[in-house]
Structure 1
Amino acid sequence: MAAGRQQIQPRRQPRQRRSEETRDRILDAAIGVFAAYGYDRGTTNRIADWAEISIGSLYQYFPNKDAILAELAVRHLDAGIAAARDRRPAGSAIPLDEAIADMVTDTVDNHRHDPAFLRVVLERAPRTPELMAKVAELQDTSTTALQELLADHPEVNLGATDTAARLVVVTVESVVHQALAAPAALNADDLQRELTAMLTSYLTR
Structure 2
Amino acid sequence: MPGRPTIAPTDRFRQRKQPKQERAAETRQRILDAAARVFSEHGYAAGTTNRIAERAGVSIGSLYQYFPNKDAVLRALMDAHVDAGVRLLTERLSDGLPERLEDTLRLFVRAAIDNHRDDPRLHRVLFEEAPRAPAFLARLRGMEQFTVEAVGRVLERHPEVRASSRLNAQVVVATVDSLVHRLVTSEAAAAEGPDFQQVEDEIVTLLSGYLSPQVQ
Same fold (TM over 0.5): yes
**CA distances 1:138-173 after superposition (whole Å, capped 9, x unpaired):** 21232232222212111112242x221122111111
Q: Which moved more, 1:188-197 or 1:80-89?
A: 80-89
Change (3 A) 1:2 1:195: closer
Q: Secondary structure at the match of 1:10?
A: coil
Aligned-partner Cα distance in 1 for 2:196–2:207: 16
Aligned-partner Cα distance in 2 for 1:187–1:120: 22
Query: Does the 8 Å contact 1:81/1:142 carry over to 2?
Result: no
Residue among 119, 122, 142 paired with 1:137: 142
Which structure 2 residues correspond to residues 63-82 of structure 1 after superposition, within 5 A?
63-82=68-87
Q: Which runs of 5+ in 2 are unaligned?
A: 1-5
Greater relative contact order, per chain length (Cα 8 Å cut-off, separation 6+): 2
Q: Which moved more, 1:139-148 or 1:36-45?
A: 139-148
- When normalised by structure 2's length, the TM-score is 0.85
Alignment correspondent of 1:6? 11
Change (3 A) 1:163 1:36: same
State the identity as a percent.
Answer: 41
Q: Which runs of 5+ in 1 are unaligned?
A: none
**CA distances 1:3-28 after superposition (whole Å, capped 9, x unpaired):** 53222211232222222222111111
Give the AA of the match of 1:170: A
Query: Does the 8 Å contact 1:80/1:138 carry over to 2?
Result: no
Which structure 2 residues correspond to residues 81-120 of structure 1 after superposition, within 5 A?
81-86=86-91, 87=93, 90=96, 94-120=99-125
Q: Secondary structure at the match of 1:184?
A: helix
RMSD (Å) for aligned C-alpha atoms: 2.0
Structure 1 residue 181: deviation in Å? Answer: 2.1
- When normalised by structure 1's length, the TM-score is 0.89
Aligned-partner Cα distance in 2 for 1:192–1:17: 39
Query: Does the 8 Å contact 1:90/1:149 carry over to 2?
Result: no
Aligned-partner Cα distance in 2 for 1:153–1:57: 54
How many pairs align?
203
Q: Which moved more, 1:131-140 or 1:81-90?
A: 81-90
Please tell me whether residue 24 in structure 1 is matched to residue 24 in structure 2.
Answer: no
Query: Does the 8 Å contact 2:31/2:56 carry over to 1?
Result: yes
Give the AA of the match of 2:170: R
